Every structure is written in C-alpha cells, then in structure tokens.
C-alpha cells in the first residue's frame, strides 16, 4: 500500500513555486556575484540567527507563564480565560501559512523585521493592558505576527547545504531552548516586584526591539537567501521532479511571460503561492503533515496533565514537578547539540531518524503511562526530551527536502499551522481522556504516535546516496 511517493526521497517532488521569481529579479549585483562564486560564508550569520532565536524565546517565556495569573487578576472567569488563551492558537493557525508565503514573496529580512517589530508592539500593549478588552487587543499582533522562529528556520534552510540543515536547525532549537529555560526564571523574579507583570511585559518589548536591531545589522552579505544549496539551477527547484519535460517547458514559458510584465503585487503572489501550496498539501505532502500533527498532539497530550497526573498518581508536589519539567527542557536543548553525531550515524537520512525517534517516543509515552514508580517517570521524561527534540528537527528537514527549500517560508508556515491545529484539539482530547484515567492522555498520545509510525513505515526511502545521485543527475 502506498499513500504517497514522496517518502521515496530519490523521486521526491518539489513544490511548484512561483514566489522566488520576484526575489530573483530583485537580487542585487552583489548578491548575484555571491551566488555565482558558490561560496557560502555563514558562520557569523548563523551565530547572529541563533542569538535571535535565543532572545525571541527568552522574551516570550518571561511573559507567557504569567498570563493566566494576570487574566485572573483582571477579573476574568476560567471560561473567559480559556477562550482568550485559545484565541492565540486560532490566530496562529490562520496566520502561519500566510506569513510564511509572505516571507517567500517579500524576502526573509523584511518579513523577519516586520514580525519582530509588530510582536514587540503586542507586548508593549500588553504592558499597558489594565482591562480584558486591552488584554485581548494586545494578544492580536502577537497572534498574527509572532513567527520569528519559523522565518528564522526558513532562512537557515536557504543559507546552509541540505546535509547540514538538520544539524544547524538543531543548534538553532538549542539556542532557542536555552532562552525558554532562562526566561521563566527572570519573569518569576520580576513578577514578585510591584506591578511585576507590567514591568515584565515592557522588558519583553525591549528584548524584541533589541532583536530587531540585531536583524537590521545582520552580516547579510555572508548569506545567500534564495539561492539553492544543492547546486541545482534555481528554475529546477521550482518544479516537481516527477513532471514530464513538456510540463516543465510549459511552466517555464508561463513564468517567462509573467516576468516580462510588471511585477505582480505582493498579495497576488501570496495568493498564487497559497494555491500551489493547497495543491501540494492535498496531492503530495498530506501524509507528512499528518505525521507532524499526530506526533505533535501525542506530545501535547503527554504535557497536558503532567502536573496533575504526578500529583494524583505519586503525590508529587507541583514544585517538584516544575523542577522535572525544567530538567527535561535542559535535556531537550542539549539534544540539539547531539544531532551531529546521530546524523552521521544515520548517514544524514532524516526519514529513518524520524521513524526511529517516533518509535522511541511511542514506547516512552507508553512506559510513562504504565510507570509504577517515580524512577520510571524520570527515565521516560529524560529519554522523551531527546526523542521529541530530534523528531521536531527531522520533520522540519523532511518538509523542506520534499517540498523544496525555495518555498521554505511557506512550508514551515504550513507546518506551524498544523501544529496550531494540534494546540486546539489536544486540550479537548486530553479532557475526554482524563475522564477515564489520569494516564488517559499519554496513553492516547502513544496510540496516535503508533498511527504516525504506521504511516511512515508504509513508504521506505531509497538510500541517501541514491537520492544524492538523482539530484546530481538532474
């Protein structure tokens, strides 16, 4: 049985993307010269981008843990607080793909700056919110434009070779994870002060402004956004590799006709990109995004009642559980540094690594559900930190490999939208599962992970060397 040929990496279809043509036409002489030279000098650029990821999650994680307490202090009922919290996920669901397409159209630099600045505006408004109306209003800019990490990952995929992409994205996730570990500590300290929440929100605003300044002064000359890291001509990365020669010629002719006209307006280009993305989702990549959704919901179910379950099953106090969560977060950040040796062991086969990490995640979720002692819980949490961190990196790399890095912003945006769907449905599934048992949510998560493993195992990829040979022959 075969759900889609794209798990076969030697014939992986590429996203039919029109959105990079305007970027190519706008490329300056300096960028063109850099592309022709074939040298990718990105060390400083990557370090700057890692710092952007760190500052982004550092600022956000100072504020987000305090939101529920602040909403309660404003007099909102638990139901209203839940609706307000869900509204952020709904905004992310619809904006992720749009912002991703927009970043492919206008360029990663402009979109990254705009998203950081508009998110900063949201946190500035949050620092001035003294009632529920202003609080909800303040969450809108962040809900729509808080896609700094997605665009940064798309930018990483543009400037590094394909074999290095999982490792670099893993390092980026590590840097971001460190920010997520330190942010709550700082936020928790600040909230103890008078008007602590408002002070924390204003500090978060200035962290975002600092981030925008960092992006503005990036060493952009060292990067080659929009170039192909595989050494393939740009036009060949915009077509499905499985297309016939006539179809390729027809696509090239139509693009040439469009290029001779005046540049299309950005929203027209975004609409075209979304139409192409829709066709790809429903014909070629649907099972990749289904695997992403299943694994995301599985992990969210594990975390959904973690504190409550440990208290009911083992009498563990929330404070001790908090230490365990922090410990797991640190291990997740460290996992990004271990990606290099693991990828070399797997010969850079992200599909195989994703399959095995998902199998490990499924096993550990089941172990946690059946754990008779806290020792088994700590063991499962420790290994889950590694398996989930590796799995997230691999699924992102697989999306870009199959869909084509020329539409990296769109692809990662759609992936974020899929994850946002998981954030909406996971609490509902968790509530139903908890009616059965405190172990219900992680048990359901293990079942969903098993379904994802079944989907992945239906299509075995060819070896990495076969894939590389295919690309070179093209």
pLDDT digits (tens, 9 = 90+) for 94-148: 888 888 888 888 888 899 999 999 999 999 999 888 888 899 899 899 989 999 9
pLDDT at 74: 86
* Residue 361 lies inside a defined structural domain of this protein: yes
For residue 304, is pLDDT > 70?
A: yes
296 burial type by CB count under 10 A (0-12 exposed, 13-18 middle, 19+ buried): buried
Please tell me the distance from the alpha carbon of residue 119 to that of residue 141, in angstroms, as a whole number. Answer: 6
Give the chain's domain count.
Answer: 2
Q: Are residues 450 and 317 in the same domain?
A: yes
Q: Are residues 175 and 279 in the same domain?
A: no
Band of pLDDT at residue 212, cut at 50, 70 and 90: very high
Q: What is the CATH number of the domain that holds 302?
A: 1.20.1250.20
For residue 344, is pLDDT > 50?
A: yes
pLDDT at 22: 44
Please tell me the distance from the alpha carbon of residue 341 to that of residue 236, in angstroms, as a whole number. Answer: 32
Q: Are residues 301 and 162 in the same domain?
A: no
* Residue 316 lies inside a defined structural domain of this protein: yes
* Residue 191 lies inside a defined structural domain of this protein: yes
Q: What is the mean pLDDT of residues 175-185?
A: 84
Give the pLDDT confidence of 419-459 residue by residue, as tens digits: 888 887 887 788 888 888 889 999 999 999 999 999 998 86
Q: Are residues 309 and 455 in the same domain?
A: yes
- Among residues 223, 256, 284, the one where a domain terminates is 223
Band of pLDDT at residue 467, cut at 50, 70 and 90: very low
For residue 163, is pLDDT > 90?
A: no
- Residues 163, 400: contact at Cβ < 8 Å? no
- CA angle, 355 as apex, 349 and 359 as ends, to 5°? 145
Q: Are residues 218 and 336 in the same domain?
A: no
Please tell me the distance from the alpha carbon of residue 111 to that of residue 417, in angstroms, as a whole number. Answer: 18
pLDDT at 250: 44
* Residue 347 lies inside a defined structural domain of this protein: yes
pLDDT at 390: 92
Q: Are residues 213 and 117 in the same domain?
A: yes
Q: Are residues 57 and 153 in the same domain?
A: yes
Q: Which residue has the higher pLDDT, 235 or 174?
A: 174
Q: Are residues 187 and 304 in the same domain?
A: no
- CA angle, 398 as apex, 254 and 15 as ends, to 5°? 5
* Residue 451 lies inside a defined structural domain of this protein: yes
Q: Are residues 180 and 295 in the same domain?
A: no
- Mean pLDDT, the chain, rounded, equals 76
Q: Are residues 89 and 147 in the same domain?
A: yes
* Residue 299 lies inside a defined structural domain of this protein: yes
Give the pLDDT confidence of 19-58 residue by residue, as tens digits: 444 444 444 444 434 433 333 446 888 899 999 999 999 9
Please tell me the distance from the alpha carbon of residue 460 to that of residue 7, in angstroms, as a whole number. Answer: 7
- The number of residues in the chain equals 474
Report residue 391 as tokens: 């799995």
pLDDT at 339: 82
Report residue 182 as tokens: 């330190």
Q: Are residues 296 and 437 in the same domain?
A: yes
Q: What is the pTM of this model?
A: 0.68
pLDDT at 353: 93
* Residue 21 lies inside a defined structural domain of this protein: no
Q: Are residues 346 and 454 in the same domain?
A: yes
pLDDT at 384: 94
Domain that holds residue 137: 42-223
* Residue 134 lies inside a defined structural domain of this protein: yes
- Among residues 196, 223, 250, the one where a domain terminates is 223
- Among residues 223, 245, 273, the one where a domain terminates is 223
């Amino acid at each position: 049985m075969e759900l889609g040929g794209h798990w076969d990496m030697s014939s992986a279809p590429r996203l039919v993307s029109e959105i990079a043509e305007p970027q190519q036409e706008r490329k300056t002489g300096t960028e063109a010269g850099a592309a022709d030279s074939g040298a990718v000098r990105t060390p400083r650029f990557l370090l700057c981008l890692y710092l952007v990821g760190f500052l982004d999650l550092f600022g956000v994680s100072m504020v987000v843990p305090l939101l529920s307490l602040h909403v309660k202090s404003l007099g909102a009922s638990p139901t209203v607080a839940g609706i307000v919290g869900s509204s952020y996920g709904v905004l992310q669901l619809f904006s992720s793909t749009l912002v991703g397409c927009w970043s492919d159209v206008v360029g990663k630099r402009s979109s990254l700056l705009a998203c950081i600045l508009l998110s900063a505006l949201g946190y500035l408004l949050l620092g001035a919110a003294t009632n529920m109306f202003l609080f909800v209003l303040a969450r809108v800019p962040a809900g729509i434009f808080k896609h700094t990490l997605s665009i940064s990952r798309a930018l990483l995929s543009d400037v590094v070779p394909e074999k290095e992409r999982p490792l670099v994205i893993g390092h980026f996730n590590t840097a971001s994870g460190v920010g997520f570990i330190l942010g709550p500590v700082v936020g928790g300290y600040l909230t103890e002060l008078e008007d602590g929440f408002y002070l924390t929100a204003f500090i978060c605003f200035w962290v975002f402004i600092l981030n925008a300044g960092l992006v503005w002064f990036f060493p952009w000359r060292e990067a080659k956004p929009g170039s192909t890291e595989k050494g393939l001509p740009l036009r060949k990365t915009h077509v499905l590799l499985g297309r016939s020669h006539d179809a390729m010629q027809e696509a090239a002719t139509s693009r040439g006709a469009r290029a001779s006209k005046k540049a299309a307006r950005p929203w027209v280009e975004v609409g075209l990109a979304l139409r192409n993305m829709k066709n790809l989702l429903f014909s070629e990549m649907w099972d990749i995004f289904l695997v992403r959704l299943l694994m995301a919901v599985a992990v969210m179910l594990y975390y959904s009642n973690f504190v409550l379950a440990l208290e009911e099953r083992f009498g563990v106090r929330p404070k001790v559980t908090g230490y365990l969560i922090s410990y797991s977060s640190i291990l997740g950040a460290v996992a990004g540094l271990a990606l290099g040796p693991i990828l070399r062991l797997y010969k850079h086969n992200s599909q195989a690594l994703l399959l095995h990490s998902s199998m490990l995640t499924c096993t550990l979720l089941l172990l946690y559900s059946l754990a008779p002692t806290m020792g088994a819980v700590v063991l499962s949490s420790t290994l889950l930190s590694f398996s989930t961190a590796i799995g997230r990196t691999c699924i992102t790399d697989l999306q870009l490999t199959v869909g084509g890095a020329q539409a990296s912003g769109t692809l990662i945006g759609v992936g974020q939208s899929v994850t946002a769907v998981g954030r909406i449905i996971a609490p509902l599934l968790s509530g139903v599962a908890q009616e059965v048992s405190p172990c219900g949510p992680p048990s359901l998560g293990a079942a969903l992970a098993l379904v994802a493993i079944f989907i992945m195992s239906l299509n075995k990829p060819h070896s990495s060397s076969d894939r590389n040979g295919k690309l070179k022959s093209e």
